[in-house]
Structure 1
Amino acid sequence: MARLSSSTTLPEGVKAPDYDRAALNHGIVHIGLGAFHRAHQAVFTQRALERTFGPWGIVAVNLRSPEPVAAMEEQNGLFSVIVRGEGDDTAEVIGATVGCLCAAQDRSGVLDLLSSEETRIVTLTVSEKAYGLDPVTGGLDVAHPAVAADLANPHDPVGVLGFLVEGLALRRAGGLLPYTVLCCDNLPTNGHIVQRLVLEMAERRDPGLAGWIKDNAAFPSSMVDRIVPAATEETRTRAQKLLGVEDALAIETEPFMQWVIEDRFVSGRPQWEAGGALFVDNVEPYEKMKLRLLNGSHTLIAHLGLLHGLEYVRDVMAVPNLRDMVVRHMKAVLPTLDPVPGIDLDDYTQQLIARFANPAIAHRNAQIASDSSQKLPQRIFAPASEILATGDDAAEFALVVAAWIAAVMRQRDCSDPRRDEIMHAAAAVDAADPSASFFLIDGLFPDMLAQSRTWRGRVNAELRQWQS
């Protein structure tokens, strides 16, 4: 069967890009050609182009895997997004991508892009673990493999920070303005974090470069939200039925999508408002809401699923007592949140429960449970510490930690950048204090939690229930 391409005649009801793709020039480089980017930033950019056409085409860069890049090239930068909710499935072909590169195969091509005058914004979805963030200091982890490689060979980068810094160095040398770096990963105050990491890496190679970046570049924070499961053969089959052609890059997602962005850009931006993006002075209340309510609940759901042999988020939400645990967790989170302009938090939690239970979305618990050591600090440990400081017991957060430990022990493995340390802790469990070895993982737990015997006792009590 034919593949999706620029010459494809789409069936009635399938939305196509409503702008002249042939006239579209690039202005955005996106690093991290994954499902989330395709269902989120690319869709928002399509909406912006449809409202006000401009030089905001996306060149998508994958750091390592060449397969998505090859598929994107074969399909002329086109892919479909299938929205699944209560009604019939709908499909839209997204055409905002005007080029794609695999950094591992074409490092110089990526650097040429980053140093080109046309590039005004670099957006990022590379996952929390890719940044080389030291969990203890909050700064640059010089032992991180990509960070170490890029510090040793700054002109031949392999990691996201290395590419950002070298790209900025080339722009400085060429007399160009820096690009705006817009992080779209689930890190609290993500713009501030990425700015700190970039400046620390730049400082190590050239203090003058670091000063130039600090004075001229912009690192706005943003909060992104859309549930996007990993694509499967079923996804591609569904796309084929809707499109009438094969789409190797098809993805499916929920109707909901949200993007809150600090409005601070060096050289302009697309009108992402056309897709519903909200531009604000302070993103922190929104990102705290999302990280703690949505992502924190997702972490609980994922490990409950692993413990009960349930494959998808929707399966967990279909079990009444497990759903009740999730609802209780959300209620425990609410007192830790700041007022969020324009958001009713009670309505938001009800909306989340419905989204998690969406029977059309097959979001695997194993996918969500990966890299938990990078996610627990901001999603669970931070609100737990704040609750403990008020004199409350933070019991609901102890339940999440216990579920994570129990799932690691039950699975006898985990997908995590700190896997060796976590599995060493699992092998060293003491029946009298079963969580103790996990609390000894360097820099993982904040001192307030690690030193609270009472709270650790709650973790142990919950953990013993899972072990019995």
Structure 2
Amino acid sequence: MSITPILQFGTSRFLQAHVDLFISEAMQQDQAIGPITVVQSSGDVERARRLAALAHPDGYGVRIEGLVDGKPVRQETTVTSVIRTMSTTTDWDEIGRIFVEEVEIVLSNTGDQGYFAKPADEKRTYDQAMSFPAKLALLLEKRLLAGGKPLQIMPTELIAGNGRVLRQHVLTNARRHSDALADWIASDVLFVNSLVDRIVSEPLEPAGAVAEPYALWAIERSDGLKAPCTHPSVQIVDDLGPIERRKLYILNLGHTYLVGRWLQSDRQAQYVRDLMADPVARADLEQLYREEVLPVFRAVGDMEAEAYVATTLDRFANPYLAHKLADIAQNHSQKLERRILAFMDWAKANGTAVDQPCLEQVLKSFA
């Protein structure tokens, strides 16, 4: 079996059309550190066929569909970076061996619930019911006992400061085992903050996915950082803050604003693309960005925000993307608070005197 320097926890279609695709394309140019072993950590036996298909010798397909500069793009590619798949339910011992002997970088995307502590975390030996950080602490203990080679861990969960957050959870679990383990993790294991951005709309069978053309993996620079690959969609940046704000206060804010207007309407539209095909709805969103959002970004010196708005409008108008408004409307009140109210508070904190009547109206409608 070929050595895999990258161990990935998570089998989502997002990872298939994002990180795994980037590494596959970089491997073709000898610009990646090597192939991937994918680990399913949920224990979902019904996904076994899909898990096996990820490592098929012929690879799996990813279909890219959308708009770039207003023009349609449709292309297909094959991902061959995944050469081995396992499950924490059935392959824990072998995962431990790989973790100790082969791995240089650990990737993860374990979903919204992945970091939550579980009662099983208190146990001293492995239990499938453990949280991801608890499982990771046990694997790190194996590595320490085998000599303790340094390691880099790169979560991609949509959590601000995801590397820092995961590190704290892992250290909490490590201290249950020994101070020596916690001390080694603190000194020799690098947890990296990153931000991922791509809309992946639907799965392909038996593996693969449909995704938009836009893709970004922004990785925060830190001492000792090793990039898993060199790729046009991978950026090493000094500060993730500006990128996080653009995504939250332009892309996510725009989605929530559209849904706010939609909830006040007859709701005949089903997808984001339907609203973008309506001249009135699109003009309303463009005016919002032009008059209530971009002036704030300009005031703080973000000169990339305008280009990001143009790209966002293309992404929303993607004629191939089945992005349901009803899905975006879930937890709408919380999204209003995190995306719109927080943006308005940020604008005030920066002394940006901009009238924001449209944003205020959407907030008042759901007060």
Q: TM-score over 0.5 for the alignment?
A: yes
Where 2:101 maps in the other structure, the secondary structure is coil
TM-score of the aligned structures, taking structure 1 as reference length: 0.66
Q: 1:39 to 1:110 in 2, by over 3 A?
A: same
1:151-207 Cα offsets, whole Å, 9 max, x none, are 345633532212222221221122122421112122222222222222233334433
Pairing partner for 1:254 from 191, 204, 212: 212
Q: 1:373 to 1:67 in 2, by over 3 A?
A: farther
Preserved CA contact (<8 Å) 1:336 1:386: no
1:98 aligns with 2:69: no
Shift of 1:399: 5.4
Match of 2:36 in 1: 58
Pick one of 328, 331, 344 that aligns with 2:304: 344
2:65 is the alignment partner of 1:84: yes
SS, match of residue 81 in structure 1: strand
Cα distance change, pair 69–366 in 1 and its aligned pair in 2 (3 A): farther
Equivalent in the alignment of 2:106: 122
In structure 2, C-alpha distance between the alignment counterparts of 1:399 and 1:178, rounded to whole Å: 52
Q: Unpaired runs of 5+ in structure 1?
A: 1-22, 133-145, 237-246, 401-458
Q: Look up the match of 1:355.
A: 315
Higher relative contact order (CA 8 A, sep 6+): 2
Deviation at 1:320, TM superposition (A): 3.9
> 2:180 aligned with 1:213, yes or no?
no
* Pair 1:148 & 2:126 matched: no
Name which of 254, 257, 273 aligns with 1:314. Answer: 273
User: Quick one: structure 1 residues 354 and 54, their matched pair in 2 at CA, closer, same or farther if it must change by over 3 Å?
Assistant: closer
The residue that corresponds to 1:35 in the other structure is 13
Helix, strand or coil at the partner of 2:186? helix
Q: Name the counterpart of 1:13.
A: none
Change (3 A) 1:394 1:277: same
Contact 1:25 1:98 in 2 (8 A): no
- In structure 2, give the amino acid aligned to 1:212: W
CA distance in 1, matches of 2:168, 2:150: 16
Letter in 2 for 1:316: L
- For 2:284 and 2:176, locate their aligned partners in 1 and report how far apart those are by CA, in whole Å: 47
Q: Distance in 1 between matches of 2:223 and 2:150?
A: 10
Counterparts of 2:289 and 2:155 in 1: how far apart (Å)? 26
CA distance, structure 2, for counterparts of residue 90 and residue 208 of structure 1: 51
User: Once the two structures are aligned, what percentage of the paired residues are identical?
Assistant: 26
Q: Distance in 2 between matches of 1:97 and 1:263?
A: 26
Partner of 2:50: 71
Provide closer, same or farther for how the CA distance between residues 327 and 195 of structure 1 changes in structure 2, counting only shifts above 3 A.
Answer: farther
Say if 1:151 and 1:82 are closer, same or farther in 2 by CA, change over 3 A.
same
Partner of 1:295: 252
User: In 1, Cα distance between the equivalents of 2:113 and 2:260?
Assistant: 19
Q: Structure 1 residues 72 and 197 mapped into 2: Cα distance closer, same or farther (>3 Å)?
A: closer
Q: CA shift at 1:370, angstroms? A: 4.8
Root mean square deviation of aligned Cα: 3.2
The Cα of 1:33 is off from its aligned counterpart by 0.8
Matched, 1:47 2:25: yes
SS in 2 for 1:360: coil
Q: Are the equivalent residues in 1 in contact too, given 2:115–2:133 (CA < 8 A)? A: yes
Q: Secondary structure at the match of 1:130?
A: coil
The Cα of 1:261 is off from its aligned counterpart by: 1.1
Task: Report the AA paired with residue 184 of structure 2.
Answer: W
Offset of 1:305 from its aligned partner?
5.1
Deviation of residue 54 (structure 1)? 5.9
Shift of 1:381: 4.9
TM-score, length-scaled by structure 2: 0.82
CA contact under 8 A between 1:161 and 1:198: conserved in structure 2?
A: yes
Q: CA deviation at 1:74?
A: 4.1
Contact 2:63 2:75 in 1 (8 A): yes
| Number of residue-to-residue matches in the alignment | 352
Aligned amino acid, residue 263 of structure 1: R
The answer (yes or no) to whether the contact 1:63–1:104 under 8 Å persists in 2 is: yes
What is the CA deviation profile of residues 353-380 of structure 1, one whole-angstrom value per residue up to 9, with x for unaligned ones? Answer: 1111111222233444456688666544
DSSP 3-state at the match of 1:84: strand
3-state SS in 2 of match to 1:274: coil
Aligned equivalents of 1:186, 1:155: Cα separation in 2 = 27
Question: What are the residue-to-residue correspondences of 1:436-447 with 2, within 5 Å?
Answer: none
What are the ranges of 5 or more consecutive residues in structure 2 without an aligned counterpart?
Answer: none
Counterpart code for 1:462: S
